[in-house]
């Protein structure tokens, strides 16, 4: 007779803190009375990704607030509230609780109540996604403001948030990865430190003692071109010239003989669309094998060049013919703004998915896939894609205004491909490449 035994209970792994580097310790202590910088009004930490900026800054911000105020409101902002919670609040709560702080998060009101040694303050969470975000923060009086990834926020939101900090002794805390040299934050803050009474600390990955050399090298492999200079070297450099200059005509293309015969069986099929009325309409037929995205075919109709625009129903007919040869796509990925065409497709029971249309992050992700040779395009079936790739460049005039974007011409297949990569390729997949 065999007697069953209850499984042993496994204790959850304890949260382990890595030692702080010299620069992180400076962040933790700059506001203390013993520091020569304690009378500054702001701290700015910029530099490379995974440099340990956010961990040290968020912890220091709360420590400063709890040592300085009682019964006050303070603010914390990210590009979105969900990004702020994921990147800042979750690890911050663990650190605070391990140090004896009382932390209670209120999801409905987007706030946290933090207490220690009899003092209690309220921390409100904000998203600084676009110009309308400034309306969210109007009317509140704050004793301090923390901005995570401030370079991704509009100036109007940051100006409104800093203007709310009217409590005596209030301070501002900014962290970011660099953008272009004409970005409003660089011009108005980093180049005006004395007037702003701000301390500036530049971080690299060597300032994060929790990273191994293997991890640093892997991170470095994820970026190329302007994204390497900014995210790895931490430089505020201009985006100029060809966007996908890491492209290799041999390694990023393929012929029929180069693909596995089972790709169309084991790969996930997607159709990605850049919708055009006056501009070209583009469909890309793509297979994802979990490692590499294979762009097998393209549909490219330029109504202006051909002298006749097609209606949504005609494009839908063309799409049905385009996808007929092969398995049913998991999704047809399309720009969220193409409402009429999406409605037409859904009436035909075509499964659609709104594309993630974050242009700069989409370009960065697509650059990484190209650099790693994980994005490959059929040499004969996709002539317009290959032509556009070579002509896809940064808009010099926009860059000088601090607004980075590609030139809006010869970009339709590029947009369709960017929708696909940004929508289906998760950051973890790039990180572990």
SS (H, E, C) 243-256: CCCCCCCCCCEECH
* Confidence check: pLDDT of 157 > 50: yes
The DSSP bridge pattern shows strands 119-127 and 111-116 to be: antiparallel
Average pLDDT over residues 104-110: 93
* DSSP E strands, 204-355: 253-254, 268-274, 281-288, 293-301, 331-334, 352-354
Domains of the chain listed by start with CATH number: 22-212 (3.40.50.300), 253-431 (3.30.420.280)
Distance CA(162)–CA(140), nearest Å, equals: 11
**What is the rounded average pLDDT of the residues 323-338?**
93
Task: Check residue 133 and give its pLDDT.
Answer: 67
Write down the pLDDT at residue 225: 85
In this prediction, residue 427 carries a pLDDT of 79
Per-residue pLDDT at 277: 80
Residue 224 confidence (pLDDT): 84
**pLDDT band, very low/low/confident/very high, at 97 (cuts 50, 70, 90):** very high
Q: What is the mean pLDDT of residues 166-189?
A: 95
Positive/negative CA dihedral, 29, 34, 36, 42 = positive
3-state helix, strand, coil in the chain (%, to 5): 40, 20, 40
Q: Could you tell me how far CA 287 lies from the centroid of its own chain? A: 24
134, 160 Cβ separation under 8 angstroms: yes
Percentage of the residues of the chain whose pLDDT score is greater than 90: 80
Dihedrals phi, psi of 361, to nearest 5 degrees: -65, -35
Distance linking the first and last C-alpha atoms of the chain:
50
The mean per-residue pLDDT over the stretch 133-158 comes to: 90
Report field, pTM of the whole predicted structure over 0.75 = yes
How far apart, in whole angstroms, are the C-alpha atoms of residue 96 and residue 88?
12
**Mean pLDDT for the stretch of residues 280-294:** 96
Q: Which residues contact 391 (CB under 8 A, 6 or more apart)?
A: 409, 410
Classify 391 as helix, strand or coil: helix
Task: Quote the CA–CA distance of 3 and 364 in Å, as a whole number.
Answer: 57
More confident residue, 316 or 11: 316
Q: What is the mean pLDDT of residues 7-19?
A: 49
For residues 228 and 220, the answer to whether their CB atoms sit within 8 Å is: yes
Q: Do 282 and 300 meet the contact criterion of CB atoms below 8 Å apart?
A: yes
- Tokens describing residue 63: 């420590």
CB neighbour burial string for 88-125, b if at least 16 within 10 angstroms, e if fewer: bbeebbebbeeeebebebeeeebbbebebeeeebbbbb
Q: Which two tokens stand for residue 180?
A: 């272009």
Tens digits of per-residue pLDDT, 26-44? 999 999 999 999 999 999 9
Query: What is the Cα–Cα distance from 113 to 87, expressed in whole angstroms?
Result: 19
Containing H/E element for 99? none
Look at residue 367 and tell me whether its pLDDT is greater than 70.
yes
DSSP output for 132-168: GGHHHHTT--BSEEEEESGGGS-HHHHHHHHHTB-ST
């Amino acid at each position: 007779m065999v007697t069953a035994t209850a499984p042993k209970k496994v204790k959850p792994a304890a949260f382990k803190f890595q030692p702080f580097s010299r620069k992180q310790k400076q962040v933790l202590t700059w506001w203390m009375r013993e520091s020569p910088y304690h009378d500054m009004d702001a701290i700015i930490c910029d530099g490379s990704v995974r440099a340990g900026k956010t961990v040290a800054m968020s912890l220091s911000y709360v420590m400063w607030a709890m040592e300085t105020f009682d019964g006050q409101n303070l603010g914390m902002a990210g590009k979105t509230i969900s990004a702020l919670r994921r990147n800042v609040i979750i690890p911050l709560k663990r650190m605070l609780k391990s140090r004896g702080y009382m932390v209670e998060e209120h999801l409905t009101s987007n706030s946290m109540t933090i207490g220690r040694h009899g003092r209690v303050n309220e921390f409100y969470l904000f998203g600084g996604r676009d110009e309308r975000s400034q309306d969210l923060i109007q009317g509140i009086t704050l004793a301090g403001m923390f901005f995570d990834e401030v370079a991704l926020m509009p100036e109007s939101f940051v100006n409104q948030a800093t203007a709310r900090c009217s409590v005596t002794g209030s301070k501002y805390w900014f962290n970011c990865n660099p953008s272009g040299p004409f970005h409003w934050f660089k011009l108005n803050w980093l180049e005006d430190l004395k007037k702003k009474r701000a301390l500036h600390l530049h971080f690299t990955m060597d300032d994060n003692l929790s990273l191994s050399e293997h991890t640093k090298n892997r991170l470095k492999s994820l970026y190329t071109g302007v994204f390497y200079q900014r995210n790895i070297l931490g430089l505020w450099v201009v985006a100029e010239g060809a966007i996908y200059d890491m492209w290799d005509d041999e390694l990023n293309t393929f012929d029929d003989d180069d693909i596995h015969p089972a790709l169309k069986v084991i790969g996930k099929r997607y159709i990605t669309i850049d919708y055009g009325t006056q501009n070209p309409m583009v469909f890309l037929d793509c297979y994802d094998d979990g490692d590499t995205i294979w762009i097998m075919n393209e549909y490219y109709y330029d109504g202006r060049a051909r002298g006749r625009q097609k209606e949504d129903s005609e494009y839908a007919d063309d799409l049905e013919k385009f996808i007929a040869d092969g398995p049913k796509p998991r999704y047809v990925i399309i720009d969220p703004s193409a409402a009429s065409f999406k409605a037409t497709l859904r009436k035909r029971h075509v499964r659609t998915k709104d594309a993630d249309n974050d242009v700069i992050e989409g370009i960065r992700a697509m650059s990484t896939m190209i650099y790693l040779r994980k994005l490959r395009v059929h040499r004969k079936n996709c002539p317009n894609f290959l032509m556009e790739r070579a002509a896809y460049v940064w808009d010099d005039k926009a860059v000088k205004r601090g607004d980075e974007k590609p030139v809006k011409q010869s970009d339709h297949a590029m947009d369709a491909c960017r929708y696909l990569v940004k929508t289906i390729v998760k950051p973890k997949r790039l990180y572990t490449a």
